Amino acid sequence: MKRIIQIAFFTAVVVCSAGNTFGQDKQGTDPDGSLKQSIYIKYKREVQAFDKKAFDALFFDFFQKQNDNTITLTKEEYYTYTIKIAIYSEKLGLLYKNQKEEAQRTKQEWFDKKYSDYLNSKH
């Protein structure tokens, strides 16, 4: 009986550590991952203090600039908008526990946006 528990425990440890090891691979494949992470760290506290009005202004400004063919955002400007929106989504997940999964999914969608896709949409 003790041997079965040891085998089960060992198997659980191996499975958990393998998941953590392979789970880290995704961020390494994004060439802009370090820029996104630095923007996230830089603006996290500021955006978490946003009220609905400040977020709506940010969101409107982003879509206005994104859809204006005479303006092309720089990589840092583009990621600043998308990461700030992701941070606000994360905040909503913390405030409304019943919407935590959807907020996390929305955060990830905004975090996964790519500058190259934005540039391609401009042409």
Distance of alpha carbon 79 from alpha carbon 91, whole angstroms:
18
- How sure is the predictor about 122, in pLDDT bands with cuts at 50, 70 and 90? confident
What are the backbone angles phi and psi of residue 73, rounded to the nearest 5°?
-70, 145
Tens digits of per-residue pLDDT, 28-41? 578 899 999 999 99
Distance between CA atoms of residues 107 and 72, nearest Å = 24
Q: What is the pLDDT of residues 11-31, one digit of tens each?
A: 444 444 444 444 444 455 788
* Cβ–Cβ < 8 Å for 103, 90: yes
Separation of alpha carbons 20 and 12, rounded Å? 12
- The string of pLDDT tens digits covering residues 81-112 is 999 999 999 999 989 989 999 999 999 999 99
Give residue 123's pLDDT. Answer: 75
CA distance 95 to 61: 24
What pTM does this model have?
0.74
Residues 6+ apart with CB under 8 A from 34: none
- Residue 46 predicted with pLDDT over 60: yes
Domain ranges of the chain: 1-29, 31-122
